Amino acid sequence: MYNTLLSVYVLLIAIFVCVYCHSDENLYQAKDNLPVHGPNQVRYLLYDVNPGEGFNLRRDVYMRVANLVKFLNEDEPWVLVLPPWVRLYHWRSTSLRPQNKIPWREFFDINSLALHVPVMEFEDYLKKVDTPVIDEVYYLQRYKEGWSKWEEKMDIRECVDPARYHQDENGNWRGRFFDYEEVYAKKFECMSAQAYLLTFKPFLMKNTTGQSVFLDRAETMIHGQYSEWSPEWWTARRSMVFAKHLRDDADWYRETYLDSNDKKDKTKLEVWTKMKRAHGEAKGGPYVAIHLRRNDYLHAHPKEVPSYENAVKQTIKYLKKYKIKKVYVSTDASWDDYFKFKKMFGSDYEIFKFEKQNLTVYKDGHLSIIDQWICAHARVFIGSYVSTFSFRIQEEREILGFDQETTFNRFCGDDEPKDCEQPTKWDIKY
Ligand SMILES: Nc1nc2c(ncn2[C@@H]2O[C@H](COP(=O)(O)OP(=O)(O)O)[C@@H](O)[C@H]2O)c(=O)[nH]1
Ligand SMILES: *[C@@H]1O[C@H](CO)[C@@H](O)[C@H](O)[C@H]1NC(C)=O
Ligand SMILES: *[C@@H]1O[C@H](CO)[C@@H](O)[C@H](O)[C@H]1NC(C)=O
Ligand SMILES: [Mg+2]
């Protein structure tokens, strides 16, 4: 009798707990993720990327550096210091909130990143070190003489490009350092490199001695064997979960305008270390999402960018095939262009684009992420040719478990064949 009662009790508790165990509240808890060694033994890796690069290539560079830090931690405790976001080339909207010195937590879930490697915001690094100093800076660059056959190599060399760093009267090195003017470095070198991320590990362990090392132009470092085809790349990618406040805003929009939520769409998020979906498990919301890249893309890829008329035609083909009436438009076009485009669909379809609903002030990076999250949850997605913005959406859909046919689609340019070459299907690897 007592035993039965007890098991009923246990069952009730289990049910009660499990109502919450799957809720999206606090998927990722803060924990002390720094390596458990004496504070003086921990070393810090900092990095930056060519200022001209956009948001979504930067996300790929993060994966390279994160995996380097992961491999370093197999032998020594290193912490990855997250480079604050500064105003990027595409981030032109002027709002009351300046688009510089943006910490990573505004865009990504730091506790999720920390399940992959130890990470720290730059602000926290500055608090930790007292003096705003970085011990060693290496500016990665090409080989001046070029190359005839590709081989891995790295050498300290004279700077090829005009110096981005200079020595002040005290012998300290000054540079951009994410617009933190007080920050300086003790040592600076240019390093010509043609190398995989793993090759930087022995260099950092043996050739550098400072507690903090900064690799500038980190996009020079390439994935090598840890590319999109590898589980290591996907592990780093899966850890890049968007910040909860942005997921929440995008989810709210899906529910309010697109009749879409995780329960119906079978897109419920779990902690990424436990999440493993088969293709086709996710259904997605009843809308076609398109990423229509404009602006600089019109000049960079004129042959592959469709006219608005043609983009409407191509979208309608998908709407008919999947018997859907709603379109979500993610684009960097102006609102004027968007309204023209929207009209071209006529009255048979409903067209949507995220706009702020209240006093929440979004920066361009926030809006990119909200657009990407909404696209990632659509029944079908159509992207733009070789856009890293589209690629990141496609990966998100791989993580959520969509049928690949609904993910790896792109618009064809007006003069391309109607069945133009579609994007490579990058299989998620666990
Ligand atoms: N909100 C929003 N921004 C976009 C969109 N497409 C491009 N952008 C902006 O333009 C930038 C494109 O640069 P990048 O991320 O490098 O992607 P790529 O140039 O398309 O490979 C993004 O980071 C955004 O700031 C879009 O569909 N929605
Ligand atoms: C790193 O140190 C080794 C051993 O001293 C040396 O051979 C190598 O050239 C150094 N690498 C660089 C990039 O300086
Ligand atoms: C403001 O709008 C966002 C979505 O755009 C929503 O998530 C949030 O709850 C709204 N806040 C208030 C106070 O209405
Ligand atoms: Mg770009």
CATH code at position 305? 3.40.50.11350
Q: Is the pLDDT of residue 17 over 50?
A: no
Q: Is the pLDDT of residue 240 over 70?
A: yes
Q: Are strands 184-194 and 212-216 parallel, antiparallel or unpaired?
A: unpaired
- Say what the pLDDT of residue 357 is: 74
Catalytic residue among 25, 53, 145, 281: 53
- Atom 3 (ligand 2): residue with closest C-alpha? 207
Q: What is the DSSP letter of 8?
A: H
Count of structural domains, the chain? 2
Angle at 54 between CA 52 and CA 59, to 5 degrees: 125
Together in a domain, 211 and 348? no
Please give the order of strands across the beta sheet that includes 378-382.
350-352, 326-331, 285-292, 378-382
Using 50, 70 and 90 to split pLDDT, how confident is the model at 228?
Answer: confident
Together in a domain, 143 and 274? no
Ligand 3 pocket check for 359: Cβ under 6 Å: no
Domain boundary among 200, 217, 237: 237
Together in a domain, 124 and 208? yes
**For 1-15, 172-186, 328-342, 405-419, which range has the lowest pLDDT when averaged over its residues?**
1-15
Alpha-carbon gap, residue 195 to 200, rounded angstroms? 8
Q: Are strands 173-174 and 166-167 parallel, antiparallel or unpaired?
A: antiparallel
Give the predicted TM-score (pTM) of the model: 0.91
**For 83-92, 183-192, 217-226, 253-262, which range has the lowest pLDDT when averaged over its residues?**
83-92
CA of 299 to the centre of ligand 4 (A): 13
Q: Is the pLDDT of residue 283 over 90?
A: yes
- Is there a domain that residue 293 lies in? yes
Using 50, 70 and 90 to split pLDDT, how confident is the model at 37?
Answer: low
- Is there a domain that residue 157 lies in? yes
Alpha-carbon distances of 250 from 20, 127, 241, 353, rounded to whole Å: 21, 33, 14, 11
- Is there a domain that residue 120 lies in? yes
Together in a domain, 159 and 195? yes
Together in a domain, 251 and 185? no
Q: Is the pLDDT of residue 18 over 50?
A: no
Instruction: Compute, in degrees rounded to 10, the torsion defined by CA atoms 111, 116, 117, 122.
Output: -40
- Say what the pLDDT of residue 4 is: 54
Together in a domain, 111 and 180? yes
Q: Contact 221/68 with Cβ under 8 angstroms?
A: yes
- Say what the pLDDT of residue 13 is: 45
Alpha-carbon gap, residue 304 to 410, rounded angstroms? 10
Between residues 89 and 55, the one the model is more confident about? 55
Structure tokens at 213: 């090392």
Of 58, 62, 107, the residue nearest 80 (C-alpha): 62
Together in a domain, 221 and 250? no
Of 403, 410, 413, 402, the residue nearest 383 (C-alpha): 410
Alpha-carbon gap, residue 381 to 378, rounded angstroms? 6
Domain membership of residue 257 as a residue range: 243-406
- Atom 5 (ligand 2): residue with closest C-alpha? 207
Together in a domain, 100 and 19? yes
The dihedrals phi and psi of 82, each to the nearest 5 degrees, come to -75, 125
Mean pLDDT, to the nearest integer, of 335-361?
92
Alpha-carbon gap, residue 247 to 376, rounded angstroms? 11
Q: Are strands 326-331 and 153-157 parallel, antiparallel or unpaired?
A: unpaired
Together in a domain, 250 and 150? no
Together in a domain, 398 and 308? yes
Q: What is the mean pLDDT of the chain?
A: 91
- Atom 22 (ligand 1): residue with closest C-alpha? 55
- Is there a domain that residue 427 lies in? no
Q: Is the pLDDT of residue 38 over 60?
A: no
Q: Is the pLDDT of residue 21 over 50?
A: no
Structure tokens at 2: 């007592």
Using 50, 70 and 90 to split pLDDT, how confident is the model at 54?
Answer: very high
- Is there a domain that residue 165 lies in? yes
Q: Is 270 a catalytic residue?
A: no
pLDDT per residue as tens digits for the range 110-166:
999 999 999 999 999 999 998 999 999 999 999 999 888 889 999 999 999 887 899
- Atom 7 (ligand 2): residue with closest C-alpha? 207
Nearest ligand 2 atom, CA 202: 1
CATH code at position 166? 3.40.50.11340
- Say what the pLDDT of residue 12 is: 47
CA of 299 to the centre of ligand 1 (A): 15
- Is there a domain that residue 312 lies in? yes
Ligand 3 pocket check for 249: Cβ under 6 Å: yes
Together in a domain, 281 and 383? yes
